[in-house]
Amino acid sequence: MARRSKPGSASATETPLPSKKDILTYVKANDGNVVRREVARAFNIKGAARADLRALLKEMDAEGSINLKGGKRIEQSGTLPPVAPIDVMSVDDDGDLLCMPANWRGDDEPPMIRLYARRAEKLKPVPGVGDRLLARLKPAGDSSFEADVIKPIGKGAHRFLAVFRKRRRGGMADPVERRARDKFTIDPGDEGQAKDGDLVWLETKNARGYGPKKARIRSVAGHIDDKNAYSTIALANHGIPTVFPPGVIAEADKAKLPALGDRVDLRDIPLFTIDPADAKDHDDAVFAEPDPNPENSGGFRVIVAIADVSFFVSPGSALDKEAIKRGNSTYLPDRVVPMLPERLSNDLCSLRENVDRPCLAVEMIIDKGGVKKSQRFMRAIMRSHAKLSYEDAQAINDGGSASPKIKTAIKNLYAAFHIRWKERTKRAPLDLDLPERKIILNDSGEVHKVIKRERFDAHRVIEEFMILANVAAAEALERARTPLIYRVHADPDPEKLEAVRDYLGTLDYSLTKGGSVRPANFNQLLKIAADRDQKEMVSEVVLRSQRQAVYETDNAGHFGLNLPRYAHFTSPIRRYADLVVHRALVKAFKLGDHGQSAQEAAELPQIAQQISDLERRAIAAERESNDRYLAGFLEGRIGDEFTARIRGVTKFGLFIMLDETGADGFIPMRTLGFERFRFEERDHAVIGESSGGMFRLGQAVEVRLAEATPLTGGLRFEMLSDPLPGEGSPRRKGPTKKRNAGKKKKTAKRTTTAKTAKPKKKKRKRGNAKPRRD
């Protein structure tokens, strides 16, 4: 028979090549694993026609419908061979390793492969997340498999999030990480089920030489045109879970409110909540009245009631295991990713108005000087008598309308706050009072505006009594000798402090030398800076000298609050640390079930480290989400001029923050001017080598937006302000003029992709070194 040149176009005397569907049916009928010779025999393909069969099979392999191994063995795509490389992706609650096939090419989601902990622990070294293993795979009776490791074979490929752009064959992927430099080629068959514009998880492929970077798509996370794509990217990048497992939801759905029983009945006491106007979870309620004890004339009785989360979330339960995986709730412009399912966070645990709710309350007695004299913890049932926003509470205190009961309660709370403020003034905590901004979205999920959060006395009232309750919890547990997790803010690092001292000296400020620097020393500097109209500049420097607050079992005090001991007690709906403290209080004062277990007490150091890490993860996700929303908001304003302040100085350029929106951006060193600038770490400045002029930390400047990349959250600016006069440079009289003021604004090409077109390079005098990309 003559060989056919093209499948599907043969004379009547030729044996036609089978269709792709016929080949797939045959492979599936033979357990998804055959060799090419068997296919040829089954369809009577002989002689030279076998070359066309080979070509057809290679085409099917490229499409991903089959896996062609070594050019001869054919496997059905979407099935697993008896032996295969697998990647360890995560660890479940039982310590079992959950894995994925390393080279999955099926249309469906890859099957789950479980490596049981008892088997993993026998290996040396014990495998962990990110390891690649060669394993025998055994069907587990459902769609999953069990793994028996033959040997480790290195690390799995790097995974990251990108936007997929479909091409005629395969496609391209743009990473969403600002640090990523390359686009990736997606070969045909490696795109899975991804469609154009999908946010996808990529896995890099080993590549040789200097050709294009290649990757394969492992899963789809969303679509770039979704209105919540910016938050989806941030959550996915940081591995923050957004869906609760069915077992956790089931446990939450079964939860029921407790009976009064041995609890204290606080329902007739007019406790009320004060929260942001859009809050859905209400952790805390407050109440104050003049102390009826005649021996404490002028003092107050204050009750802070906190949601009794520990009643619903017992140690070791499914809810508990999921809560510690999350560590805290994550707050993004378009959503809240809660630590607990909504059945608890927004309902049973939330201290909603006019309904009975269980609480863990502390009654505190303060004297007329604002000093706390005593405290008593109790499990209780309360009923919130009012749900107030900060604006509501402030308006009532200022004479607005409310029921007599609530008006009296508000007046008493403010009166207690004013005498408590006396003690705070003596304590002198660090008073940076940096502005906070909030992104407001419209119905389409786009940024409508950015507002500065207005600070009322109502904010300070709640903050002060929450701090007092947190101190009471730490003191009570110490006295009861019950293990706890402290909120620790250590003293500033001595080296950072010395650098700050040197920098402030260049601004003609003096920071105490020798001995221990206290918050009051910084506060005095800030007061002087305010008189010189330099408070924001000095605040930035003081902030950079501070260590990050963490959770620890060894107490080191809280420098910022100027307190010897401090714990988190007041927000157990959204912070796991507070739940741990609640359980400790339940155990210490014998307040009922679900107190601290011996196992939990032994694991507190590990828990403290874990929730500190998870807090940093949430903060990073919140910051990245905000950056993307703000970049999207400013994308249409390329060429516009803004007032800003320098937030960071590096050898690569300047980080700035816009006054209008709080958006962060970058000015590359090479664009600062026609002279070479050098970085002076001691001065937190870059200094012109010819003029001596400088740009320094905290300096107010004017800038022009040159580029916005919403996908990565990047903003690039051009400097318009002249540098400050330095030593040896001529000082101008009058206000500093703007550079480039007479130039026509240039409008850069707008883009919504991860990489915008690079601006045309200008010739530079003195050959500035090219800085690292921001």
- pLDDT above 60: residue 107: no
Q: How far is residue 462's CA from residue 286's CA, in Å, rounded to a whole number?
A: 8
Q: What are phi and psi of 6, to 5 degrees?
A: -140, 135
The model's pLDDT over 316-328, given as tens digits with 9 standing for 90+, comes to 999 999 999 999 9
Say what the pLDDT of residue 637 is: 95
- pLDDT above 70: residue 227: yes
Q: How far is residue 63's CA from residue 71's CA, in Å, rounded to a whole number?
A: 15
Question: How many Cβ atoms from other residues are within 10 Å of residue 154's Cβ?
Answer: 10
Averaged pLDDT for residues 21-45: 78
Say what the pLDDT of residue 33 is: 66
The model's pLDDT over 462-471, given as tens digits with 9 standing for 90+, comes to 999 999 999 9
pLDDT-based confidence at 585, cuts 50/70/90? very high
Say what the pLDDT of residue 745 is: 44
Start-to-end CA distance of the chain, whole Å, equals: 65
Averaged pLDDT for residues 3-29: 62
pLDDT-based confidence at 142, cuts 50/70/90? low
Say what the pLDDT of residue 140 is: 75
Q: Are strands 33-35 and 73-76 parallel, antiparallel or unpaired?
A: antiparallel
| Secondary structure of residue 465 in the 3-state scheme | helix
If you ran DSSP here, which 8-state letter would residue 568 be given? -
Q: How far is residue 495's CA from residue 486's CA, in Å, rounded to a whole number?
A: 25
Vertex 542: Cα angle to 539 and 546 (nearest 5): 135
Computed on alpha carbons and rounded to an integer, the radius of gyration of the chain in Å comes to 32
CB 124 within 8 A of CB 147: no
- pLDDT above 60: residue 261: yes
Averaged pLDDT for residues 575-591: 98
Question: For the ranges 178-192, 486-500, 655-669, which has the lowest average pLDDT?
Answer: 178-192
Averaged pLDDT for residues 254-260: 96
pLDDT-based confidence at 280, cuts 50/70/90? confident
Say what the pLDDT of residue 93 is: 55
Q: Could you give the dihedral angle defined by the CA atoms of residues 698, 704, 706 and 707, in that order, rounded to the nearest 10 degrees?
A: 60
Say what the pLDDT of residue 486 is: 98
- pLDDT above 60: residue 7: no
Say what the pLDDT of residue 349 is: 97
Q: How far is residue 543's CA from residue 562's CA, in Å, rounded to a whole number?
A: 15
- Give the CA count within 13 Å in the CB-facing half-sphere of 721: 22
pLDDT-based confidence at 413, cuts 50/70/90? very high
- pLDDT above 70: residue 281: yes
Contacts of range 395-400, beta carbons closer than 8 Å, 24 or more positions apart: 397/457, 397/458
| 732 vs 265 pLDDT, higher one | 265
Averaged pLDDT for residues 383-401: 95
Could you tell me where the beta strands, DSSP code E, fall in 384-443? 387-389, 437-441
- pLDDT above 60: residue 43: yes
pLDDT-based confidence at 449, cuts 50/70/90? very high
CA distances from 702 to 644, 656, 658, 739 (A): 6, 10, 9, 9
Averaged pLDDT for residues 642-663: 91
Strand partners of residue 156: none
Averaged pLDDT for residues 52-58: 82
- pLDDT above 90: residue 181: no
Say what the pLDDT of residue 9 is: 41
Averaged pLDDT for residues 633-637: 94
- pLDDT above 60: residue 38: yes
- Phi-psi category of residue 336: left, alpha or beta, with phi > 0 → left and psi -120 to 50 → alpha: beta
Say what the pLDDT of residue 733 is: 38
pLDDT-based confidence at 428, cuts 50/70/90? very high
Q: How far is residue 194's CA from residue 52's CA, in Å, rounded to a whole number?
A: 30
| Secondary structure of residue 702 in the 3-state scheme | strand
Say what the pLDDT of residue 480 is: 97
Averaged pLDDT for residues 68-92: 71
- pLDDT above 50: residue 542: yes
CA distances from 473 to 230, 370, 482, 486, 568 (A): 39, 18, 11, 10, 8
SS3 per-residue string spanning 156-216: CCCEEEEEEEECCCCEEEEECCCCCCCCEEECCCCCCCCCCCEEEEEEECCCCCCCCCEEE
Say what the pLDDT of residue 734 is: 37
| 68 vs 755 pLDDT, higher one | 68
- pLDDT above 70: residue 14: no
Q: How far is residue 596's CA from residue 536's CA, in Å, rounded to a whole number?
A: 44
Environment class of 52 (CB within 10 Å of its CB; exposed 0-12, middle 13-18, buried 19+): middle
Q: Which residues contact 174 (CB under 8 A, 6 or more apart)?
A: 162, 163, 165, 183, 711, 753, 754, 755
Averaged pLDDT for residues 626-639: 95
Q: How far is residue 645's CA from residue 429's CA, in Å, rounded to a whole number?
A: 26
Q: How far is residue 338's CA from residue 346's CA, in Å, rounded to a whole number?
A: 10
Q: Which residues contact 294 (CB under 8 A, 6 or more apart)?
A: none
Q: What are phi and psi of 67, to 5 degrees?
A: -110, 120
Question: How many Cβ atoms from other residues are within 10 Å of residue 98's Cβ?
Answer: 15
- pLDDT above 90: residue 605: yes
Averaged pLDDT for residues 348-363: 97
Where is mean pLDDT largest: 286-300, 421-435, 742-756? 286-300
Say what the pLDDT of residue 618 is: 94
**DSSP string for residues in 45-105:** --TTHHHHHHHHHHHHHHHTSEEEETTTEEEETT---SEEEEEEEEE-TTSPEEEEETT--
Looking at the chain, the number of H-run helices and the number of E-run strands are: 17, 34
pLDDT-based confidence at 155, cuts 50/70/90? low
- pLDDT above 70: residue 1: no
| 541 vs 592 pLDDT, higher one | 592
Say what the pLDDT of residue 468 is: 98
Identify which of 235, 288, 546 has the alpha carbon closest to the alpha carbon of residue 416: 288
pLDDT-based confidence at 763, cuts 50/70/90? very low
CB 669 within 8 A of CB 771: yes
The 10 Å CB-count burial string (b at 16+, else e) for 258-293 is: beeeebbebeebbbbbbbeeeeebbbbbbbbbebee
Averaged pLDDT for residues 647-660: 89
Vertex 437: Cα angle to 433 and 443 (nearest 5): 160
- pLDDT above 90: residue 553: yes
Averaged pLDDT for residues 625-630: 94
Say what the pLDDT of residue 127 is: 82
- Residue whose tokens read 């002087």: 528
Say what the pLDDT of residue 593 is: 94
Say what the pLDDT of residue 69 is: 65
pTM for the full predicted model: 0.73
Mean pLDDT (the chain) is: 85
- pLDDT above 90: residue 283: yes
Say what the pLDDT of residue 6 is: 41
Strand partners of residue 687: 678, 694
CB 355 within 8 A of CB 340: no
Total residues belonging to the chain: 774
| Identity at 440, one-letter amino acid code | I
Using CA of residue 155, residue 156, residue 159, residue 164, what is the dihedral sign? Answer: positive
765: tokens are: 């005098």
122: tokens are: 């026998």
Strand partners of residue 136: 83, 148
The model's pLDDT over 484-525, given as tens digits with 9 standing for 90+, comes to 999 999 998 887 888 888 888 888 888 887 667 899 999 999
Q: How far is residue 664's CA from residue 716's CA, in Å, rounded to a whole number?
A: 9
- pLDDT above 50: residue 25: yes
Question: For the ranges 262-271, 401-410, 535-544, which has the lowest average pLDDT?
Answer: 535-544
pLDDT-based confidence at 176, cuts 50/70/90? confident
Say what the pLDDT of residue 554 is: 94
Question: How many Cβ atoms from other residues are within 10 Å of residue 322's Cβ?
Answer: 22
